[in-house]
């Protein structure tokens, strides 16, 4: 288990790039943390690292997911039970080598394919504490 701290959104984006470099073969990243903890900010950092424009990353809370060329951005906040269609899409995206990021994964946590990285974010003022677990 690894721990990191960030004091502002830019640090969170840089941390995302570092984690991507540390776990290049892990194609699924789960992001847990309360509203406004920085999950979408983290995803923007991943997008930058993939050579995308972070401005294209919009919170998929209402859409449940947004698909880009190399990134599938999922947000299960509004889901009340696991959705097998979404799980299939996550698996398919991972199998073809794309990177999947899931905000609010709890509703389907036991269905998430492995290996994956589970990042839990704690919030205190502007400080964000990241706890990173690798599940293989």
Question: What is the closest distance, in whole angstroms, from the C-beta atom of residue 98 to ligand ATP in the complex?
Answer: 20
By CB under 6 A, tell whether 113 contacts ligand ATP. no
Go through the chain and tell me how many residues it has.
Answer: 136
59 class by beta-carbon count within 10 Å (0-12 exposed, 13-18 middle, 19+ buried): middle
Structure-derived torsion over alpha carbons of residues 118, 54, 96, 78, reported in degrees to the nearest 10: 60
User: Using CB distances below 5 to 8 A depending on partner kind, what does residue 73 bind out of Mg ion, ligand ATP, none?
Assistant: none
Out of 14, 17, 59, 67, the only residue in the binding site for ligand ATP (CB under 6 A) is 59
By CB under 6 A, tell whether 32 contacts ligand ATP. no
By CB under 6 A, tell whether 12 contacts ligand ATP. yes
What tokens does 113 get?
A: 């394919």
Q: Are 22 and 110 in contact (CB under 8 A)?
A: no
Out of 18, 22, 36, 78, the only residue in the binding site for ligand ATP (CB under 6 A) is 36
By CB under 5 A, tell whether 39 contacts Mg ion. yes
**How would you classify residue 111: left for phi > 0, otherwise alpha for psi between -120 and 50, otherwise beta?**
alpha
- Give the residues lining the site for Mg ion (CB under 5 A): 39-40, 59, 103
- Give the residues lining the site for ligand ATP (CB under 6 A): 6-9, 11-12, 33, 35-41, 59, 61, 103, 126, 128
């Amino acid at each position: 288990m690894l721990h990191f701290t960030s004091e502002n959104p830019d640090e969170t984006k840089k941390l995302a790039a570092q984690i991507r470099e540390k776990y290049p073969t892990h194609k699924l990243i789960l992001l847990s943390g309360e509203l406004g903890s920085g999950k979408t900010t983290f995803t923007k950092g991943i997008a930058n690292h993939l050579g995308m424009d972070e401005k294209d990353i919009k919170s998929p809370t209402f859409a449940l997911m947004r698909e880009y060329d190399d990134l599938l951005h999922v947000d299960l906040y509004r889901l009340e039970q696991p959705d097998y269609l979404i799980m299939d899409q996550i698996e398919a995206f991972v199998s073809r080598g794309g990177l999947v990021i899931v905000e609010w994964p709890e509703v389907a946590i036991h269905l998430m394919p492995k290996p994956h990285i589970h990042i839990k974010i704690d919030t205190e003022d502007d400080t964000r504490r990241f706890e990173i677990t690798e599940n293989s």
